[in-house]
Each structure stands twice: as C-alpha cells, then as structure tokens.
Structure 1
Amino acid sequence: MKRKAMGTTQSSSSKRATSSGSAALTLFSIPVEILEEVFLNLPPNQVVHVCRLVCHEWKEVADSEALWRERCRREGYHLRVPSKIPRDWRLFYFLCKKRRNLIQNPRAEQEFNGWEIIANGGDKWVVEGIFEPHPNEKVQKNFVTSYHLCKKSQLIDLEKEGYNPSFMDQFQPDIKISDWYAPRYDCSCKYEICVELLNQAKGTIQTFAPETVYIEQWNDNQWRQMTHVFQKYGKGARYIRFTHGGKDTKYWAGWYGIRLTDSCVEICPEVDT
C-alpha cells in the first residue's frame, strides 16, 4: 500500500472546519456602516450583552464612540453644555436612559405615601395646595410643617432601582439632589436637609448637611432651591437616605412653617452636573 505524501490530502473534518470558518467570515464581514445601523435598531442591552460577544469586529462597533453618540442623538439625549464632552458615550447614554427621580411622591400628590415621618411636632405635617406659583408648573401641592419640628425621610435602595453594586463601584456616577422650600410671608421659619450615601450595612460614606436655613418674618414668599452633587465618593454606595423638614419659629398654632415640595435624587452623567 502506497503512503500518501504529508500535506497532500485534507481530512473531511478539516474540510468541514474550513467551510465553517469561511461561512463565519462571510456572515460577520458586514460593512461597518450597515452593522452600525443594525445595532442602532436593536435594544441597547442586546447590543452590549449579545452582539459585542460575537466576534472582534462586532465588539469594535458595539464599543465605538460613534455608535453611542449617534444613539444619543436619535433618542434626544443632548449635552446641556456642548463643550463638555463625555469621556464615555456609552455610559452617558445609559445614565441618560435610566435617569429619573428616585424619590417617591416628591410633590405631595399622594399625601405622605413613600415617606417615613420621623418628627411630627406641633399640629403635625399636612399637605396643602401651593400658595405661590412654583417654577415647575406641574407642582400643585406641598408638604407643610408646624410650630414644633417636623421631619420626614426616604431610604433609596440603589440596587432595587437598577444600579447594581459593581456599576456603582466602578463608575461612581454623579448623584444629584435638589429640594424646593418656601416660607409664608407673614411668619419666620427654618429649613433643614440631610442627605447621606450609605454602604451595605447602612454606615455613612458621605453626607450633605448644610447649615439650617432661617427665614425672617415678612419675607418675599418665594420658592428657593437647595442643590448638591455627590462626586468621587468611593466604593460601597448602596443606599441614599434623604431627610428634610423644619418648623415655624413664631410657635403659632396651625401650619405656618416651611413648605417643601418637588424633592429629587438622580443618578446622572458627570457632564450634566
């Protein structure tokens, strides 16, 4: 029996492998412009968790700045300051897409649903219609304090809200808080706020607790906004505790204390804060 020279024949399994490789090459060698358009019409999570794992070429397109910048444009996620360019357009896109107020019932539309009352002094908290138009025309109600300290709080579980621990630790996205408060023109009052970033054991990582705001009698009766942005707070943030309140300082029976409404906690892109 004659021996066949080495390298002159190809086994059937080798032929199948070559055929399979050629088919894969044909399947995945799609012009970048077409591939990008396909990805732009797929759910974003599918692009990240499925498409980018197919091959090196698909991964490059799925990770490209151009893809996510175009996705932002098409879905209306614009930079507030055009000169501030995101370091990561994909991160910017997902933070914009998930962005929302994490405070429940911020405008007193559902009475005190979602809030924990931790101090209920004087004639206690009440909900009333706004007496002075708010900058946000959607706001029609506010919480009102009495003549002894009134405070309420919410605890936000970041993981339940869709921000898992690895994401929070790796990216440490900006956490923006805001709160609107207003006095009655005929009564002096005070306003307090404390917002804490907490770890898994609910230990404090970082705190925003500005000095108490005192407002004199016969004031301008206008809405004021308190804002703060938590940045570079380190690993471990798992909860946010938002607490605010106040009282009138004349000790008048009824509800002459500070008014509160439209509280907000957002996880947002760095360039937007």
Structure 2
Amino acid sequence: MPRAGKTRNSGSASAPQQYRKRTRNMGQSQGTASDDNGAVPWGSLPVSLQEEVLLRVPAQDVVLSCSRVCKLWWQLADSTSLWKRRCAQEGLRPCDPQCPPANWKIFYFLCMKMHNLLKNPCAEDKFNGWHLQHNGGDKWNIEDVSPHHALPDLSVQKFFVTSYGQCLKSQLIDLVKKGYPPSLLDEVQPDIVVSDWYAPRWDCGCQYEICVQLLSHRKKVLQEFRPKMVIFPQWNDMQWNQVRHVFQKYGRGVRFVRFCHGGKDTQFWAGWYGIRVTNSSVEIDPGLDRD
C-alpha cells in the first residue's frame, strides 16, 4: 500500500511540470527543437510555416476559433502577412497595386461577401423585391431581350419596360441586415457602387431617370446621386446604355441605400413604348480587380 501511494504522488507531481513546460514552449520563438515526445513546439516554427497551417483552415474558423486559442495565435490570425497571403492564394487583388488595402483581412472578407444587394435586378422573378412607386399609363411590364439587341452580359434575358404614364420603382437596402456592421460602414467606409442599364425603343421617344440615396438609420438623406434626365428622340439606335456611380468617403452614419429608377415614353402611345431597364446593381466594393 505505501508503494502504491508513492506512485500516485509521483504522477501528480510530474504532470503539472510537463504541462508548464509545454505551455512555455508554445510562446517561444526559439528554443529546443522538440519536446520529450519528439514534437516540435508551435512557437519554435517559422512564422511562414505557422501561416501555412492557418491558410489550410477556413477563414471564418481562423477568426472565430483559432484567434481565441492564445495570444500568439490571436496575433498570427490578425497579421497582415497572413491575410495578404490568403488573398494571393485565392486570386484576390486590389484594382490599384500602387494603393494596397489598409487592412488585408477586411479586404478579404469584403471581397468574399461582394454581391448584388438588389433583389431580382433582371426581372426573372416578375416584380418581386421592387416597390412600384408610380405605375402610370398601362403600368410596368416585363419583356424578353431581343437577340438582335442583347446586353453585353448575355445572361440577361429580360427587362422591365415603362408605359406612357410615369413609371418608377425602387428598393430600400438595409446594409446592417445585409451583414455590414455599423463599425465597418463608419470606420472603413467601403465604396458603394451603383449601376443600371437602360435602352429606348427605336420607334418611340422616351425618358429615363435614376436616383440613388445613402440614408441614415432614421432615413435622412446623407448623399444622393441624381443625374440629369436622359431623353431619347424617336427613331434612335435602340442601344443599351450603362450609368455607373461610386459613393466614396461618404462619412459616418450610412445604414440604408435607396435605389429608384424608371421613366416613360414621350409620345403617349398606349402599351409599353417607354424606357427599358434591367441588370441594376448595388455593391459594397473593396476595390477588387475583376479582370
């Protein structure tokens, strides 16, 4: 019995010592090449090799799990070098190489999250997602894109078309609900890029208008893009045109984007001879090179 008790005391004394030894090795950048079991302490690995390990872990897990292991892992998971390498590994490059991102981690996640925030931009789901502010004349309608007058993006097969009365439709985008936290919108202020495609009929004059507003949480207008109305004469070339605008350095407080566009024909013909619109978009753009 005394011998058995001695064995238990010896084991309980040595375990904490081994644990403390392993813990010290985790934070060392130099030291012994391996521990008593032949394993190489994490802290003695080159930083480039540590990064290589985390590059094989999903990005979300790096931020939500790996960064919480210890201070060493937190510093590594937040390092510029790690996220710059991950961007290069996944082909994410800034559009201007001479002006690299201020924060490569934010750049990475904004790139991965980038998508069109407008619902149903190409009329594939009828008018779902759109608020018809004005529905004059014979009201809004949806038609198919003619192969002879296709858009540059050949995947766009439908468009919205206006009538002889004023036709306007809009969407209100809640940026916070879309996953962009107030701290990001206020501190980073990533570019907000809006785009729209519009075209007239060849045989009828028409007009086109667009208004995009950045709003506060109380829907107060902070910035607005409202170019001059475009008027097409009768007997025109019926070409598709793009309007594009980038909101930059718009200040703190932006929480919503209101997108509104439409128009009408100018000859008051019954039916749908007014402006055509499709392939509209609103994106949070970190400055990604898309070529």
Same fold (TM over 0.5): yes
Per mean C-alpha deviation after superposition, the further-off stretch among 107-116 and 230-239 is 230-239
Instruction: State, as a whole percentage, how many aligned pairs show the same letter.
Output: 52
Alignment match, 1:89: 104
97-106 or 193-202: bigger deviation: 193-202
Cα drift, residue 17 of structure 1: 7.2
TM-score (norm 2): 0.83
Segment drifting more, 116-125 vs 57-66: 57-66
Q: 1:173 maps to what in 2?
A: 190
CA distance in 1, matches of 2:286, 2:17: 47
Q: Where does residue 40 of structure 1 map in the other structure?
A: 55
Task: Note if 1:236 corresponds to 2:262.
Answer: no
- In 1, Cα distance between equivalents of 2:108 and 2:257: 23
Q: Contact 1:189 / 1:250 at 8 angstroms: preserved in 2?
A: yes
Show CA shifts across 1:51-74 (max 9, x none): 234344323322222211221222
What is the CA–CA distance in structure 2 between the aligned matches of 1:196 and 1:272, rounded to whole Å?
26
User: Aligned ranges for residues 142-181 of structure 1 at < 5 Å?
Assistant: 142-181=159-198
Decide whether the 8 Å contact of 1:86 with 1:271 is kept in 2: no
Partner residue of 1:9?
none
Per-residue deviation, 1:106:
0.3
- Counterpart of 1:31 in structure 2 is 46
Relative to structure 1, is the Cα distance of residues 190 and 36 closer, same or farther in structure 2, using a 3 angstrom cutoff? same
One-letter amino acid matched to 1:257:
G
| SS of match in other structure, 1:69 | helix
The one-letter amino acid paired with 1:102 is: L
Read off the aligned partner of 2:208 and give its amino acid letter: Y
1:192–1:244 CA contact under 8 A, matched in 2: yes
Provide Cα deviations, 1:7-45, integer angstroms capped at 9, x if missing partner: xxxxxx999876544322334414322321121122212
Output the amino acid matched with 1:165. Answer: P
Question: How far has the Cα of 1:214 moved from its partner?
Answer: 1.0
Contact 2:192 2:282 in 1 (8 A): yes
TM-score (ref. length: structure 1): 0.88
Deviations 1:84-103 (A, max 9, x none): 42222212111100000000
- Alignment RMSD: 2.1
Deviation at 1:83, TM superposition (A): 3.9
Give the secondary structure class of the aligned counterpart of 2:63: helix
- Give structure 2 stretches of 5+ with no counterpart: 1-11, 27-41
Of 161-170 and 236-245, the range deviating more from structure 2: 161-170
Counterpart position of 1:75: 90
* Counterparts of 2:218 and 2:99, CA distance in 1: 36
Separation in structure 1 between the aligned mates of residue 70 and residue 144 of structure 2, nearest angstrom: 58
Q: Residue by residue, what CA displacement relative to the aligned partner does 1:201-258 show, whole Å, maximum 9, x if unpaired?
A: 1111111111111111111111100101111111111111100000011111111100
Q: Which range is displaced more, 154-163 or 32-41?
A: 32-41
**What does 1:249-260 correspond to in 2, within 5 Å?**
249-260=266-277
2:218 is matched with which residue? 201
- Kindly indicate whether residue 100 of structure 2 is the aligned counterpart of residue 101 of structure 1: no
Residue 108 of structure 1 aligns with an amino acid whose one-letter code is A
- Residues 146 and 257, structure 1, Cα contact 8 Å, conserved in 2: yes
SS in 2 for 1:45: helix
Asked whether the equivalents of residues 197 and 243 of structure 2 are also in contact (C-alpha less than 8 Å), the reply is yes
1:133 pairs, out of 137, 146, 150, with 150
Q: Distance in 2 between matches of 1:89 and 1:183?
A: 43
Return the offset for 1:81.
4.2
- SS of residue paired to 1:148: coil
Q: How does 1:58-73 map to 2 (within 5 A)?
A: 58-73=73-88
